[in-house]
Every structure is written in C-alpha cells, then in structure tokens.
C-alpha cells in the first residue's frame, strides 16, 4: 500500500506542479523536479504526515525500480535517434563533438579545481579533483529528451544533440575509469591497470553486444505478430527484460564483467529502429505509454536531491566553481568541435548550452567514489549532489531557451490556439447541457 501511495503522490504532485508553473513557461522537467523537492524528506516529508510526502530517503529509494525502468525506456528512445539514414549525415560530427566536449569539460574542471587545491589543500585533495573532473563528462539524457519531446523540437541541432548525449555515457565511462584509477593509486599507493583500462572497455563492449543481441531477437519476434498492440506489448516487455539483464555483475578475479543499463538499452533501440520497418510507429506508441513513467521518475529524482549539502561553505564554493567551469568546458568544447566539423552557425552557438544538464550517470560515478575512496569519497559525493541539484533545476530551462533561439522549438500558431480554444468551449457547452 505504501509503495502505491508513494507512486500516486509523486505523479499527482508532478502534474499539479506543471499547472502551477504553466504561466512561467518552464519545462515540465523542472516542474517535476521541484515537485519532488517539495514532497521530499527535506520539505513536506519533515511534517511527518503519512501520505503527504516522502518522510525518509528510504521511502524515496523504495521507488528505485521505477527509476531503473524509466531510464531504460529513456535510453531506448534515444537509441531510436541512431538511424543509419541520419548517421550518414551527422555520424562523424556527433562522434567528434561528443568526445571533444566531454574532454574539454574534464580538462577545465581539473585545471580550476587544482587551483582551489593549491589555495585550500585541506578542503580539496588531488584524488578528489581528478574524480570530479571525470564526473564532469556526464550529461543527463533524460532531461534533454523530455524537453525535446515536450516542445516537439525538430531540426539539425536536435538531430545532432541526442546522439551526442548518448555518446557521453561511453566517453564518460572511459574517462572516469582512467581518472578514478589514478585517484585510487594516489590514495592507496598502487596502480591497478585492469581497473583503469580493461574493466571499462569490457563494460562498454559487453553492453553494446547485449543490446545488439536483444535488439535482433526483438526484431525477429515482432514478425510473429500482425497487431501493432501486440508488437507494442512485445517491445515494452523486451525493454524490461533488457533492463533486468543489464543489472547482472560477474567478477573473475580483478576482472569485472558488468553492463551499463543506458548503453545496453540505447543499443537495443538502435538495432531495433534500423532493422524493424515498423519501429517508428511503435516508438510513437511507446512514448504515450511511458509519459507517466517519466513524470514519476523526475519527481523521485527531485525527492532524492539532498539539500543538506548547502550546510558546508566549502562544498558550496567548490560546487559553484565546478558548475561554472564544467559549463565553460562543455560550451567551448562543443562550439570549437562544431566549427571544425563544419556545422551550421546555430549549432556552433547553441549546442553547448543544451549539454549542461547532469544527473543519473554522474550520481552513479559519485556513488562509486563514495564507496571506494573512504575519507575522500564523501566530499566528491556532496559536491556532485550540489551540482546536480543546480543543473537539474536550471539545465532543462536553458536547453529549452537554446533550442528556441536556434529556431527548433516553434511557438504555437494562432490556428492551433484557436482550434484548442474551440474544443474547450465545445466541451464546456456540452458539459453545461448535460
């Protein structure tokens, strides 16, 4: 009962907050996140009124399964953007920009945080700054996809953006493994090359292979059905199975065989959209089914944000520097690489802004750091939490503004407004007559 009640509260709070924020023209993602903060353990949850909010973080984490499933469908949807017809035009640009902007963010954060280390060595150590620099690579695909969907953004920038966001996961895994491996060697006095180089490459390769195999099997099974409803049910079932399989972990000595759920589900979507001729129609149907799931996911994400990180001034200072220079790295890395690959002026100018949001992958990285670097990891986790709080609240709005400025979010035409108004008036008249 408590889990069902929590799910309903999360969904209702998110939907009501979108109505409250409608006059401000903010993205729904921002409204969902703020709704989560309000019903979370640091606000309404503290009142201790059962059913009014999440009273503890344990209550929030009880919905972690929904978050895992939602991320799987988000990654599956992003995989749909890797159609070969589009990749022939933008594949090279997306690959170059995806790698360069991620590395630029890491370098900028490392350099500036090293300056803070020289000023305050007791507050920020070299292992901590190296880890934070690696975490800076990650971008939040969920928030970006939701903004694109809500405003039906279309154009060259949008087509390039989603593959780049997807590539961030693979680039981030490699950069994090190398930087975090060096950080651990500085803390413990030895370097483990298997952890630094072998394990992340195995994880990426296994994730892509598992996703490709599942995508091929899904495509073959879709042929057994003539009804689009049954095909949709099969697609949903396969995403759930793929998310479950991606949670498997195998350890053979120092070698860890694991999977990235985001990469696995992205590959599933990529293979499916390129092999199944009906994939586009099925993806549109799946989008309608997953809408409430995504709303719950973002409300829960907002409730997970820990507001107590504001209590330590050092975290706030370091967090602000991290946020600013990660944005600088993302923006100029995207702009310079976009110019080098001959992208349009609008893409060069606005692409970097759309890469600011940060959440899921970064939180996973900081959790690993908190566990494996005792004494050092808590600071990394708190700074990342502070940054995610700011990025998730501001990032979607900036993504919307950038896509609007690039001309890829169109304002509602007078004709559409008139049609909607007419339908509302007709419904009102019919209701009064009844």
Give tens-digit pLDDT for 249-280: 877 766 677 777 777 888 888 888 888 887 77
Asked whether residue 101 carries a pLDDT value surpassing 70, the answer given is yes
Whole-number Å distance between alpha carbons of 424 and 355: 37
Phi and psi at 251, nearest 5°, equal: -115, 125
Contact 68, 297 (CB under 8 A): no
Whole-number Å distance between alpha carbons of 164 and 161: 5
Six-digit token string for 117: 């280390």
Whole-number Å distance between alpha carbons of 76 and 231: 15
Model pTM score = 0.71
- Determine the pLDDT at residue 430: 63
By CB atoms closer than 10 A (0-12, 13-18, 19+), residue 390 is: middle
- Determine the pLDDT at residue 59: 79
Lowest mean pLDDT among 52-56, 96-100, 204-208, 346-350: 52-56
135-155 residue pLDDT tens: 888 887 777 777 887 788 888
- Determine the pLDDT at residue 1: 67
Q: What integer is the mean pLDDT of 155-165?
A: 84
> What is the DSSP secondary-structure string of 27-60?
-HHHHHHHHHHHHSTTTGGGG--BTTB--SHHHH
Query: How far is residue 20 from each of residues 32, 298, 404, 433, measured CA to CA in Å?
Result: 11, 17, 22, 30
Asked whether residue 190 carries a pLDDT value surpassing 90, the answer given is no
Q: How many CB atoms lie within 10 A of CB 114?
A: 15
Whole-number Å distance between alpha carbons of 118 and 110: 12
Q: What integer is the mean pLDDT of 361-373?
A: 73
List, in sequence order, every beta strand (DSSP E) within 213-276. 250-252, 255-257
DSSP-derived letter for residue 155 is: S
Phi and psi at 409, nearest 5°, equal: -115, 115
* Average pLDDT of the chain, as a whole number: 80
Whole-number Å distance between alpha carbons of 36 and 44: 10
Lowest mean pLDDT among 1-5, 69-73, 305-309, 335-339: 305-309
Residue 256, SS3 per DSSP: strand
Taken in order 151, 152, 157, 160, the sign of the CA dihedral is positive
336-356 residue pLDDT tens: 998 998 888 888 898 888 888
């Amino acid at each position: 009962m408590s889990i069902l009640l929590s799910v309903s509260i999360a969904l209702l709070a998110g939907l009501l907050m979108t109505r409250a924020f409608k006059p401000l023209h903010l993205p729904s993602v921002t409204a969902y996140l703020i709704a989560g903060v309000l019903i979370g353990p640091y606000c309404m949850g503290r009142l201790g009124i059962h059913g009014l909010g999440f009273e503890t973080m344990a209550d929030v984490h009880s919905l972690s399964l929904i978050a895992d499933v939602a991320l799987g469908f988000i990654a599956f949807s992003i995989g749909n953007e890797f159609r070969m017809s589009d990749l022939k035009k933008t594949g090279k640009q997306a690959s170059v920009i995806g790698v360069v902007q991620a590395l630029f963010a890491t370098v900028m954060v490392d350099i500036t945080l090293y300056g803070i280390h020289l000023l305050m060595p007791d507050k920020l150590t070299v292992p901590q700054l190296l880890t934070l620099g690696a975490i800076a690579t990650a971008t939040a695909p969920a928030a970006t996809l939701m903004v694109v969907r809500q405003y039906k953004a279309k154009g060259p920038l949008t087509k390039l953006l989603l593959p780049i966001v997807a590539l961030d996961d693979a680039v981030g895994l490699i950069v994090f493994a190398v930087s975090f491996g060096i950080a651990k060697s500085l803390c413990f006095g030895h370097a483990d090359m298997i952890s630094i180089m072998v394990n992340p490459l195995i994880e990426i390769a296994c994730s892509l292979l598992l996703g490709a195999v599942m995508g091929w099997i899904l495509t073959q099974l879709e042929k057994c059905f003539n009804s689009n409803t049954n095909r949709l049910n099969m697609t949903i079932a396969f995403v759930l199975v793929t998310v479950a399989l991606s949670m498997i972990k195998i350890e053979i000595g120092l070698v860890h065989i694991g999977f990235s759920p985001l990469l696995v589900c992205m590959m599933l979507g990529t293979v499916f959209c390129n092999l199944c001729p009906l994939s586009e129609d099925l993806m549109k149907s799946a989008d309608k089914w997953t809408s409430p799931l995504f709303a719950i996911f973002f409300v829960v994400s907002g409730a997970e944000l820990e507001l107590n990180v504001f209590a330590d001034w050092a975290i706030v200072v370091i967090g602000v520097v991290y946020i600013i220079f990660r944005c600088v790295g993302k923006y100029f890395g995207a702009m310079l690489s976009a110019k080098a690959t001959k992208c349009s002026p609008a893409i060069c100018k606005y692409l970097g802004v759309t890469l600011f949001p940060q959440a899921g992958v970064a939180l996973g990285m900081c959790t690993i750091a908190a566990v494996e670097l005792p004494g050092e990891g808590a600071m990394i986790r708190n700074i990342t939490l502070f940054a995610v709080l700011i990025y998730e609240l501001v990032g979607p709005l900036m993504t919307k503004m950038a896509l609007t400025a690039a001309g890829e979010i169109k304002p509602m035409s007078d004709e559409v407004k008139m049609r909607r108004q007419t339908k509302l008036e007709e419904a009102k008249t019919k209701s009064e007559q009844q």
